């Protein structure tokens, strides 16, 4: 039998490799524990110094390697609350809320976030559980008493009334008015009833009048998903029924994403209403703003299915930047793009096969000292171009001024007026607009 001789250098290499592997395996649990503890502490120190994003990156990377490690989950929740992103903090808290004997320093920021988002009953419940476990904790007792006071003063009803004009159908003015009364059943659920009417000052379009009554319910699930379902009927049009279903997801305090579908769209042209034309509408949208509201962005896509066989696809996006955020004045500039496509060439209402509007909008907010809780005036200046298939590109512009009052925490009013140049089928028209919104909590 032949024996195989292993070179001496290979033998040493093999023994060294075995020693290294055995050493690593022997030291990994202890070293890994020390590493986890050190990195965890470094992340908390970063957060305490105000470097929240860096701390969260570090701690969430650790959590990915050590899933279900409660101390990491706890501190990540606290840092999101410190950062001001309460929605993320509350969503992550759902995973650990049944943890036995949660620390008071977790319950305190979480309860503050709950109060901030109107979930006062939940805040009272978790604070009460925590204070029973730690009856001598003064901070818990103060937080509980403050939450109880807010719960006692919580307003169950909200009334909102709106009035305005719409001249989107080749300058044919339409008056739009409505009112909504909502009642909160709990922190997460409300029911409402609303009334909306539209009418025209033109005798030829009086048949476009509508008087719609709707009832609905809105509920926010624990995963920050807000569901709305409404059923409505038009009293003027013989009870013509409709429904609205909406889903909005709020992953953080910075983002909002949603979709809705209604079988009876109310935002269709006046002359379409006058001809008893109706439409279904589906919408998807998203919007975002940075933590300091320096940048903002929103986008939406809508599809209308008209009963006259026309299908409309409409898109809108706006990118905003605040270049001045002074105590008494804020100035922002927006770049806005709108475009639509329609399939019916000879509709009785304004219905371009393809159009596009590109505008720059400048907004200035003037903050006033007054006897009211808040008084801000808004000035909008817009300049852009409108392009309609088959016609030359024309310029459009507008100016709008609004006065925005919060008389108290319960009563608010906004009134505004605008004047601008619009273009329909290549012809420019000058139009005025008016609007008012009143809100009362009680």
Q: What is the separation of C-alpha 72 from the centre of its chain, rounded to a whole number of angstroms?
A: 28
SS3 3: coil
In contact, 413 and 437? CB cutoff 8 Å = yes
Q: Which two tokens stand for residue 150?
A: 């807010």
The CATH homologous superfamily to which domain 28-152 belongs is: Tetratricopeptide repeat domain (1.25.40.10)
Q: Which residues have CB under 8 Å from 167's CB, separation 6+?
A: 173, 174, 422, 431, 433
pLDDT at 19: 36
Cβ burial of 232 (10 Å; 0-12, 13-18, 19+) is buried
pTM above 0.75, yes or no: yes
In contact, 266 and 178? CB cutoff 8 Å = no
C-alpha–C-alpha distance, residues 184 and 157, integer Å: 6
Rounded (5°) CA angle 133-134-140: 115
Q: Which residues have CB under 8 Å from 270's CB, separation 6+?
A: 166, 169, 172, 174, 198, 200, 205, 208, 349
pLDDT at 3: 41
Q: Which residues have CB under 8 Å from 24's CB, separation 6+?
A: none
CA-based torsion, 287, 289, 293, 297: positive or negative? negative
Q: Which two tokens stand for residue 217?
A: 């319910």
Question: To which residue do tokens 């004047």 refer?
Answer: 419
Q: Which residues have CB under 8 Å from 311's CB, separation 6+?
A: 303, 304, 305, 342, 343, 344
Which CATH number is associated with domain 224-441?
Answer: 2.40.128
pLDDT digits (tens, 9 = 90+) for 373-428: 999 999 999 999 999 999 999 999 999 999 999 999 999 999 999 999 999 999 99
pLDDT at 150: 92
pLDDT at 21: 38
Start-end of CATH 1.25.40.10 domains in the chain: 28-152
C-alpha–C-alpha distance, residues 163 and 340, integer Å: 26
Rounded (5°) CA angle 14-18-19: 115
Q: Which residues have CB under 8 Å from 220's CB, separation 6+?
A: 188, 189, 226, 227
pLDDT digits (tens, 9 = 90+) for 2-37: 444 434 443 343 333 433 333 344 445 667 788 899
pLDDT at 17: 40
| Bridge partners, 229 (sequence order) | 217, 245
Reference 92, options 79, 103, 105, 108; nearest CA is 79
Start-end of CATH 2.40.128 domains in the chain: 224-441
- What are the φ and ψ backbone dihedral angles of 128, each rounded to 5 degrees? -65, -45
In contact, 385 and 375? CB cutoff 8 Å = no
- Other Cβ atoms within 10 Å of 280 Cβ, number: 15
Q: Which residues have CB under 8 Å from 29's CB, separation 6+?
A: none
Question: Which long-range contacts (C-beta less than 8 Å, at least 24 apart) are formed by 371-377?
Answer: 372/405, 372/406, 372/407, 372/408, 373/406, 373/407, 373/408, 373/409, 374/404, 374/405, 374/406, 375/403, 375/404, 375/405, 375/406, 376/404, 377/401, 377/402, 377/403, 377/404
pLDDT at 1: 39
C-alpha–C-alpha distance, residues 330 and 324, integer Å: 5
DSSP per-residue letters across 238-297: TSEEEEEEEEEE-SSSSEEEEEEEESS-S-S-HHHHHTT--EEEEEEEEEEE-TTSSEEE
In contact, 239 and 248? CB cutoff 8 Å = no
In contact, 244 and 214? CB cutoff 8 Å = yes
Q: For the chain, list residues with pLDDT below 70.
A: 1-30
C-alpha–C-alpha distance, residues 87 and 119, integer Å: 12
Question: To which residue do tokens 């279903």 refer?
Answer: 245
Helix (H) or strand (E) holding 140: helix 138-152
DSSP per-residue letters across 54-109: HHHHHHHHHHHHSTT-HHHHHHHHHHHHHHT-HHHHHHHHHHHTTSSS--HHHHHH
């Amino acid at each position: 039998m032949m024996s195989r001789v292993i070179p001496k250098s290979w033998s040493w290499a093999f023994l060294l490799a075995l020693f290294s592997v055995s050493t690593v395996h022997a030291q990994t649990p202890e070293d890994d524990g020390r590493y986890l503890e050190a990195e965890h502490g470094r992340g908390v120190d970063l957060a305490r110094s105000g470097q929240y994003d860096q701390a969260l990156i570090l701690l969430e990377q650790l959590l990915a390697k050590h899933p279900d490690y409660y101390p990491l989950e706890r501190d990540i929740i606290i840092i999101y609350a410190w950062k001001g992103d309460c929605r993320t903090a509350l969503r992550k808290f759902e995973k650990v809320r049944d943890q036995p004997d949660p620390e008071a320093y977790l319950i305190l920021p979480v309860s503050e976030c709950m109060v901030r988002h109107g979930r006062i009953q939940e805040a009272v419940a978790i604070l009460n559980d925590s204070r029973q476990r730690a009856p001598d904790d003064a901070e818990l007792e103060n937080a509980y008493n403050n939450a109880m006071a807010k719960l006692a003063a919580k307003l169950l009803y909200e009334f909102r009334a709106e009035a305005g004009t719409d001249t989107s159908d080749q300058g044919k003015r339409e008056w739009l008015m409505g009112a909504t009364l909502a009642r909160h059943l709990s922190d997460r659920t409300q029911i409402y009833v609303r009334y909306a009417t539209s009418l025209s000052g033109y005798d030829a379009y009086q048949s476009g009048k509508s008087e719609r009554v709707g009832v609905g319910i809105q509920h926010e699930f624990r995963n920050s998903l807000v569901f709305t379902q409404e059923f409505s009927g038009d009293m003027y049009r013989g009870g013509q029924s409709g429904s609205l279903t909406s889903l909005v997801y709020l992953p953080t305090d910075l983002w909002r994403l949603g979709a809705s579908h209604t079988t009876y769209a109310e935002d269709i042209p006046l002359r379409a209403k006058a001809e008893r034309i109706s439409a279904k509408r589906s919408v998807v949208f998203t919007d975002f703003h940075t933590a300091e509201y320096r940048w903002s962005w929103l986008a939406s896509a809508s599809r209308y299915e008209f009963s006259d066989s026309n299908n409309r696809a409409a898109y809108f996006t706006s990118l905003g930047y605040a270049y001045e955020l002074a105590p008494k004045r804020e100035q922002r500039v927006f770049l806005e793009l709108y475009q639509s496509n329609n399939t019916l060439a000879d509709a009785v209402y304004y219905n371009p096969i393809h159009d596009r509007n590109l505008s720059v909008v400048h907004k200035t907010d003037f903050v006033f000292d007054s006897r009211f809780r808040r008084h801000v005036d808004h000035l909008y200046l817009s300049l852009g171009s409108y392009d309609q298939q088959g016609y030359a590109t024309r310029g459009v512009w507008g100016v709008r001024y609004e006065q925005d009052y919060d008389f108290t925490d319960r009563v608010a009013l906004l009134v505004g007026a605008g004047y601008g140049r619009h273009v329909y089928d290549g012809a420019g028209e000058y139009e005025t607009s008016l609007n008012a919104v009143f809100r009362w909590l009680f």
